[in-house]
Each structure stands twice: as structure tokens, then as C-alpha cells.
Structure 1
Amino acid sequence: MASTASRPVVASQKVLSLLDHLHNQSRAQESSFAMFLFYMGRYIRFLFSKQPQSSSFDDFVRDKFIALEPEKCDFLYLLARASGAMNVVEAGTSFGVSTIYLALAVGQNVASKSTEPVMPGKGGKVIATEKEESKAAKAREHWQQAGQEVEPWIKLLEGDLLVTLPKQLGETDAVDLLLLDIWTPLALPTLKLVKPKLRHGALVIADNTSSVKLLYKDLLDYIHDGTNGFRTMTTPFSGGLEVAVYLPELAQ
């Protein structure tokens, strides 16, 4: 385990230890032969049928973390801190691992901009979305274990995000960061849903845009089209991590 001082994430040892534990569980799942077959099957299915998932797909992933790797989470935390993000949307929460990083960043950003003592959960929020009831329950359990550094800064929307998110966005200030860690068919619809609330300079981050580039075609075509106001690059993390900045004045 890395020492607290050497890690980019600022958090109590309790939270850092919890994150190590969750990442170890996720890593064990990801390294299994069953997961390899699952990912290969998903990709082959898409190549032949253009259908990226099925009911059996949903059944298989119901008890899987499918979490961002630790180095991606560290990077996500640093981006959120550097951008001063206080209103974040996470599409695809799963067991809530990356949500912890985002919540830490949001709480610390709020504190850094306030001259008064900060009441946990006031002044910023991570709006997390998860359609699977069992995963939402596990995420809440993990956030409760993390405690006041994390839990008050998260609002979880359960169910179809295309249904639950619009109302919440109507009650939310401009969005500073959008994380798309969700099944690829929902990536572009989610971006289009959140886009009217993106502030100038907002970050949009999507995982595995190199390893499953074909599945992300619609999203990548959209953000690479200059008329939509994004400037983007694929960072060289395993599988690719897309980082786009919303700069609407540069739309051509």
C-alpha cells in the first residue's frame, strides 16, 4: 500500500484503506477468465449483430464492480480538484468506487472556496446514477463506510437515468464534470441530456474509448465534430480514457 503522503488523493487513512480494499476486489474480478470471455463475447456480439448487450449481459454484470482502475480514479480526482468541480454527474455508479473519489474532490473544492465552516453536503454534489437496485445498495454501503468525507456529498438516482436525471438537472446549477462510465449505447444520449447544463470549460470523461472504440463510435463522432463545442483527446491509460473540454465558443 502506498503511503498517504505519496498518493495524489487527499483523504483519511480510513477512506484510503477502503479504496484499496474495493480496488483489490474489483481487480480480482477483472483478472478472471470469466470476465475475459464476457468482454470478448460482448465485442463479438456487437461486430456481428450491432447489439452491445442483452438480458444475459445484465445478469452477468449485476454482481461485478466494473470499476475504474486506481490510476484512472487518481487522475479523475486530480481533474476534479484542478477544475474546482462542485457539481458533478456520474453516469454509471456501479458499486460506487469512482464516486468516492469524486465526492472527496467536491467536498474539498467546496471547503477551499468558503471562508466559513462547511456543512457536509452543502454547496456541491455528485449526482450518481445506477439502474440496478442491488448495486445501488452496495454503493450506499461503501459510502457509509467512507463516512462524512464522502457520503453527504452524493445524491444517488436509482433507475433509468434518462428518466431520473432530467428532473435532478432542473434543480442543479451548471455541471462542472460529467463522467460517462456506462454501457456505450447510453453514452451519447446522456451527454446530450447533460450538455445544456455544462458550464464553459466543463470536463466530459469516458472510459475505455480505445479498447472498445467501435462501441463508442457515436459518442466519439459527436465530440470530434467541432460544431458541437468540444475539444478532446484520448489519454494513454489502459483501454483509453477520453477527456473532453466543453468550449462552445470554438464551435465551427
Structure 2
Amino acid sequence: MASSSPNPVVAPSHIHALLDRLHEESSTQEAALGNYLSGTVSFDDQMRDKFIALDQDKCQFVYQLLRATNGKNVVEIGTSFGVSTIYLALAVGSNLEASGGEGKVIATEKEPSKAEKARAYWKEAGDELVTRHIDLRVGDLIETLKNDLPTVDLVLLDIWAPVALPALKLLEPKLRTGAVILVDNTIESATRYADLLAHLRAPENGYTNITLPYTKGLEMCVKV
């Protein structure tokens, strides 16, 4: 029996090395996060230089899911330093290469400093395999997602909870039947995501739902 789980991500060795490095840095920051939080500094200010990256096993799952569903148009709500975006871009690029058509990862980030860092990591991964598949929209997502949206195959939602439901409602007219919505931290942050989860789980809104047993939870919802 193999000693570790297989990695589904098809990419050159320098991208795997980059991803391993970024996940390690993110994990180190997350472990120390309790030391950063204080009542004297706003949450946004404290998080401005933090990765807050999706866990590596979750990123690999999202990549595999996109490959399985041949997803080509993805919206990422909460790009941060762009770690999970690399996985999304690699999957979308592979799907486009395999079956043609058009597609893009539409990535959203409020903080210009984080967007700049994300672009640097994407450039390190490579323009051909990663950067060219990403449309980064910097600013208030309620404004940046108002226009120029394709029919959406998958939404990855990993953002400060009060913005989550308004962001989803903005995207709902563009969700195709069978579109997948993934929401991180839905076990640990169930109370903070209460409005979003109630919306997704209400039968009249047309989703099927399952909470996947990853660390802190990962909600997988399908628009039916």
C-alpha cells in the first residue's frame, strides 16, 4: 500500500515545488494565527499579509472535480495570494486543451497588495500554464462581478462570511444546471455561514448539498 495519497495534479515539477512551498507557508501562518488576532486591529488589517489558503488536500480535490466535470468557467470568490487559483487554472487549461472551447478562471480579490502577490506567484508558475487562464478582478466583488460573466461551471467560495451570500446571489443567474458551489470551513464556521448555508439548503433554491469531511469542512452543492 502506498504511504501517501496520490496527487492528481498534472503539472511540471517547478509548479509542484511552488505549491508545496506556498502550502507550507500558509500552514505556518495559520498555526500562528491566534497570536496575530487582537481587539485593537481590524480583521482586514490583520489578514492583509496572510495567505488564508485552501488546504492542499482540498485544492487537489477541486482540481480533480474540475477535470472530472470538464469545467471551463470558474469563479473564485476570495483569491487571497492565489494558491488555489493555480490549481483552478491548471485544471481549466487541461480541459481546454483536451476538448477545446473557451474558458477562464475569474478570480476576485479586494486587497491590491494580495492581488499583486498572487500575480507574482502565477508568473512563477508560468504564463502559458497558469496566468493566461486567469481573469483577476481586483476591488469590491459586488462591482467587479456585475458584468462580463460567462455561464459558470464551478464556484469556489472562500471568503469572509458576511460577503458570501451576496456574492452567491450575484452569480446565481449565471450558474448552469449541474454547476458546483464549494464553500470552505462549513463545519468550523457553520455559525458564521448560517445565512449562506440556509440559502443553499432550502429546497426551493434548487441545490443538493453534502458536507465533505475535510478538516473544518468543505460544502459541496450542486445546482439542480
What TM-score does the superposition give when structure 2 sets the normalisation length?
Answer: 0.94
- 1:207 corresponding residue in structure 2: 184
Relative to 1, partners in 2 of residues 1:89 and 1:55: Cα closer, same or farther, differing over 3 Å?
farther
1:137 aligns with one of 111, 116, 121: 116
Give the corresponding residue for 1:157.
137
1:98-126: per-residue Cα shift (whole Å, max 9, x none)? 00000000000111103xxxxxxx72100
Partner of 2:7: 7
Distance 2:169 2:35 in 1: 32
Query: Matches of residues 32-181 of structure 1 in structure 2 within 5 Å?
Result: 32=32, 35-36=33-34, 56-114=42-100, 123-147=102-126, 148-169=128-149, 172=150, 174-181=151-158
Give the residue type in structure 1 aligned to 2:104.
K
Who is 1:250 aligned against? none
The 3-state SS of whatever aligns with 2:42 is helix
Q: Which whole-Å CA distance do the structure 1 matches of 2:213 and 2:34 have between them? A: 21
Shift of 1:6: 3.6
5 Å matches for 1:19-38?
19-32=19-32, 35-36=33-34
One-letter amino acid of the structure 2 residue matched with residue 228 of structure 1:
N
Please give the per-residue CA displacement for 1:79-104, whole angstroms capped at 9, x wherever unaligned. Answer: 11111110000000000000000000
SS class of match (1:167): coil
> What are structure 2's unaligned runs of at least 5 residues?
none
Read off the aligned partner of 2:34 and give its amino acid letter. F
Distance 1:155 1:65 in 2: 20
The answer on 1:193 being equivalent to 2:173 is no
Deviation, 1:8, is 1.1
CA RMSD of the aligned region, Å?
1.8
Are positions 1:217 and 2:203 aligned together? no
Following superposition, which runs of at least 4 residues in structure 1 exceed 4 angstroms of deviation? none
Matched residue type, 1:106: V
Cα deviation digits, residues 117-147 of structure 1 (max 9, x gap): xxxxx72100000010100000000000010
> Whole-Å Cα distance in 2 between the matches of residues 161 and 55 of structure 1?
23
Q: Residue 65 of structure 1 aligns to which amino acid in structure 2?
A: F
* Residue 58 of structure 1, CA deviation: 0.5
Structure 1 stretches lacking a partner, 5+ long: 46-53, 115-121, 248-252
Residue 36 of structure 1 and its aligned partner are, at CA, apart by 2.4
- Cα deviations across residues 27-52 of structure 1 (Å, max 9, x unaligned)? 110111xx12567x7xxx9xxxxxxx
Letter of the 2:110 partner, please give it: K
Give the distance between the partners of 2:44 and 2:141, measured in 1 at CA.
16
% of aligned pairs identical? 52
Task: Measure the CA separation in 2 of the matches of 1:168 and 1:70.
Answer: 30
TM-score by length of 1: 0.84
Cα deviations by residue, 1:130-174 (Å, 9 ceiling, x for unpaired): 0101000000000000101111000000000001111132xx2x1
- The residue that corresponds to 1:119 in the other structure is none
Counterpart-to-counterpart distance in 2, 1:214 and 1:236:
17
Provide the residue aligned with 1:230 in structure 2.
Answer: 207
